[in-house]
Chains A and B, each alone.
Chain A
Amino acid sequence: MYLYDQYDQAMVDARVADFRDQTRRRLAGEITEEQFRPLRLMNGLYLQLHAYMLRVAIPYGTLSSRQMKMLGHIARKYDRDYGHFTTRQNIQYNWIKLEDAPDILADLASVEMHAIQTSGNCIRNISSDQYAGVAADEVADPRPWAELLRQWSSFHPEFSYLPRKFKIAVIASPADRAAMRLHDIGIELVKRDGQVGARVFAGGGMGRTPMIAPEIRDFVTEDEIISYVEACLRVYNRYGRRDNKFKARIKILVHELGVDEYRRQVEEEFAHIKTLGIDPPAAELDRIRAFFVDPPFETGLGDALDRSDPDFALWVDQQVAAHKQPGYAIVNISLKPVGGIPGDASSAQIDLIADLAERYSFDELRVTHAQNIVLPSVKKSDLYAVWQQLREAGLAEANLDLITDIIACPGLDYCSLANARSIPVAQKIAERFADPARQREIGELKLKISGCINACGHHHAGHIGILGVDRKGTENYQLLFGGSGAEDTSLGTIAGPGFDEGGVVDAIEKATNLYLAQRQPGERFVDTYRRLGMAPFKEAIYG
């Protein structure tokens, strides 16, 4: 993992000191809320439905055990004993007191963390593949580039006041586990003629106008990735719509200019940037790379597992993924217990996961955009012990990518932007499909719920998506079918009129029943939908 140098630490410590003084002045009445609001937002502190909410950055979703323990400590000491892991691979605390916020930021800084650029029209936390560095199918480890982008984008003076917020994802596998093409810029590391470089996509996103990012460059060499991204952002910063918040994202610019014209302007700017000599020195990437060398894997380990405990075998089949190193496995920890709140974890659960990472996974863990946690490198011979401890803590749900592994935004239970509640709908769906055998029979089905058009719950990218809307003061839920945030990226289509809370659960059951009746061998729900089209699904749910 990357460790702060003196510059990183000095920047973060200075920001804590600044914010402590700003908070003191606000509480003393020396500055107004109008003056203070942008300052607190620059430090991730929102005022939400019930209280202040603090969004803490987890760079590319990667944490050490020590950092995870600090997240548990903050939940216990300053919040109400839990945190909420988000679709941006971050964590949010829902019950923060303004008077405590400077101390919380100081605690975070003590473990090389912060809440900077988790709000505002700047480059947000860089996201990546939760299997980065351990996936068997990646062409290179994306984390050094994600870290380089983090450093480049932190306090970038030219990009601190963009037309709108800006999200970047980096992946390095043909399998997309990070919804890469639904980001403002998506970077896919690829190899060409033995050389690592990147495909660059720009203009993707969800929200009220969902778009899949088109490819802008099919290959840029690794030493030019930062300069090329800089060129993409410069064109956006110059021409992005600052006059209309709803048309200010880069996707609108790329769409209105057309891909070819946007690309032409980026290439022109890139040619100019190349004359400035601001490519990061190769030595800097090498310095960063050194932090991401493999941990000391044991060699000669076997891959055999004792599967005599059927519950353990079921969990292994669903939650464990292939690791690049023989004898090791990737463990996915579900934060989706049936009837629970997707993405929430108590301080005790956070502490336990940190302990497991420390003991069994080289002191490292990952947060996924699907609101689960990953232990990236666990010896197969330790899997049973890990599973037993997870089970005792209520963390051994075996539902990865199944219908109860639901992404849900906080919705109207917490969020001041939301129009409808998301969490109760997720809970009711999970309860309806609670039977593990039924879930496995249905197979991979990614269900995603947003409580408003801003789409924090990624409803456009769900095999089944749900969008909560306000219909004359009443919560109403629109169903979408056919979306995907994976390498087969697609946007869901609204089925028709919305439902009330109970009706949407019934409709999903009818849709899955149709799928089970109509599927061909090997087809997932989304495959059957794509083959059959919307008509039979509409007939099933409205007929």
Chain B
Amino acid sequence: MIIVTGNDLATGDVIWWTGSGWSRHVGQAVDAGHEGEAIIERESAARRVNSAYLVEAEQTASGPLPHHIKDRIRASGPTVRADLALNTEIPIVKA
């Protein structure tokens, strides 16, 4: 699956496309299918997202899990500060 991510323009928060808006939680991301580029163009123009890009992911029981470690860390928060993490359940290193 392909999911869409970027940063909130004003706050810089990592955000994920939910199909109708943006969420800070990757678990709420949806498959953008072939619409990813169009979503990025439209949402960037409306300043609802900054520096957006497409991410390959797999669907898991707890929601989409990005393929690349960089995006898994973006989704989880820094692995060395559990107090600042959004979701420490996200597996950073794949089994």
Q: Does A96 make an interface contact (CB < 8 A)?
A: yes
B78 touches A50 (CB 8 A): yes
Q: In the complex, A427→B82 CA distance in Å?
A: 14
CB-CB under 8 A from A423, the residues of chain B are 80
Q: Does A473 make an interface contact (CB < 8 A)?
A: yes
A414 touches B78 (CB 8 A): yes
Residue on A nearest B52 in the bound complex, by CB: A33
A413 touches B73 (CB 8 A): yes
Q: Does A98 make an interface contact (CB < 8 A)?
A: yes
Which chain A residues (24-53) contact chain B, with CB distance < 8 Å? 26-27, 29, 33, 47, 49-52
Q: Does A475 make an interface contact (CB < 8 A)?
A: yes
Q: Does A99 make an interface contact (CB < 8 A)?
A: yes
Residue on B nearest A46 in the bound complex, by CB: B12
Minimum Cβ distance to chain A for residue B94 (Å): 8
A473 touches B14 (CB 8 A): no
18 extra interface residue pairs, beta carbon distance < 8 Å, beyond A27-B10, A413-B79, A418-B70: A33-B50, A33-B51, A47-B51, A49-B74, A50-B13, A51-B11, A51-B13, A51-B14, A80-B84, A95-B84, A99-B10, A413-B80, A413-B81, A416-B70, A421-B79, A423-B80, A473-B69, A475-B69
Q: Does A341 make an interface contact (CB < 8 A)?
A: yes
Minimum Cβ distance to chain A for residue B31 (Å): 21
Minimum Cβ distance to chain A for residue B44 (Å): 7
Q: Could you write out 22 A-B pairs with CB less than 8 Å apart?
A: A27-B10, A27-B47, A33-B44, A47-B50, A49-B74, A50-B14, A50-B78, A51-B11, A52-B7, A94-B78, A95-B12, A95-B84, A98-B10, A98-B11, A413-B78, A413-B79, A413-B80, A418-B70, A423-B80, A427-B80, A473-B69, A475-B93
Q: In the complex, A475→B79 CA distance in Å?
A: 14
0 or 1 for each of B39-72: is its CB under 8 Å from A? (1 = yes): 0000010010011000000000000000111100
CB-CB under 8 A from B74, the residues of chain A are 49-50
Minimum Cβ distance to chain B for residue A235 (Å): 36
User: Of the candidates A29, A99, A424, which one forms a contact with B79 in the assembled complex, judged by CB atoms under 8 Å apart?
Assistant: A424
CB-CB under 8 A from A416, the residues of chain B are 70
Known: A413-B79, A424-B80. A52 touches B12 (CB 8 A): yes
How many B residues touch the partner, as a band? 20 to 34
B78 touches A97 (CB 8 A): no
User: Of the candidates A51, A94, A412, which one forms a contact with B7 in the assembled complex, judged by CB atoms under 8 Å apart?
Assistant: A51
Closest 5 CB pairs of A and B: A51-B12, A52-B12, A413-B78, A423-B80, A99-B10
CB-CB under 8 A from B84, the residues of chain A are 80, 95
Residue on B nearest A37 in the bound complex, by CB: B51
Known: A33-B50, A50-B78. A98 touches B12 (CB 8 A): yes
CB-CB under 8 A from A95, the residues of chain B are 12, 84
CB-CB under 8 A from A96, the residues of chain B are 12
CB-CB under 8 A from A421, the residues of chain B are 73, 79-80
Minimum Cβ distance to chain A for residue B4 (Å): 16
A97 touches B51 (CB 8 A): no
Q: Does B27 make an interface contact (CB < 8 A)?
A: no
CB-CB under 8 A from A427, the residues of chain B are 80
Main secondary structure of the interface of B (DSSP, over half): loop
CB-CB under 8 A from A473, the residues of chain B are 67-69
Main secondary structure of the interface of A (DSSP, over half): mixed
A27 touches B9 (CB 8 A): yes
Residue on B nearest A410 in the bound complex, by CB: B78
Q: In the complex, A424→B93 CA distance in Å?
A: 13
B80 touches A97 (CB 8 A): no
Residue on B nearest A49 in the bound complex, by CB: B74
CB-CB under 8 A from B79, the residues of chain A are 413, 421, 424
Residue on B nearest A413 in the bound complex, by CB: B78
0 or 1 for each of A446-479: is its CB under 8 Å from B? (1 = yes): 0000000000000000000000001001110000
A97 touches B70 (CB 8 A): no
Known: A424-B79, A473-B68. A49 touches B73 (CB 8 A): yes
Residue on A nearest B10 in the bound complex, by CB: A99
Q: In the complex, A421→B79 CA distance in Å?
A: 9
A97 touches B73 (CB 8 A): no
Which chain A residues (1-39) contact chain B, with CB distance < 8 Å? 26-27, 29, 33
B50 touches A29 (CB 8 A): no
A97 touches B50 (CB 8 A): no
Residue on B nearest A420 in the bound complex, by CB: B69
Minimum Cβ distance to chain A for residue B46 (Å): 8
CB-CB under 8 A from A80, the residues of chain B are 84
A341 touches B80 (CB 8 A): yes
Residue on A nearest B67 in the bound complex, by CB: A473
Q: In the complex, A485→B13 CA distance in Å?
A: 37
Residue on B nearest A80 in the bound complex, by CB: B84
Q: In the complex, A99→B13 CA distance in Å?
A: 12
Which chain A residues (89-110) contact chain B, with CB distance < 8 Å? 94-99
B9 touches A98 (CB 8 A): yes
Q: In the complex, A97→B74 CA distance in Å?
A: 16
CB-CB under 8 A from A413, the residues of chain B are 73, 78-81
Q: In the complex, A49→B9 CA distance in Å?
A: 14
Minimum Cβ distance to chain B for residue A319 (Å): 25
Q: In the complex, A27→B48 CA distance in Å?
A: 10
User: Of the candidates B47, B51, B81, which one forms a contact with A29 in the assembled complex, judged by CB atoms under 8 Å apart?
Assistant: B47
A49 touches B47 (CB 8 A): no
Minimum Cβ distance to chain B for residue A105 (Å): 16
Minimum Cβ distance to chain A for residue B36 (Å): 18
CB-CB under 8 A from A26, the residues of chain B are 9
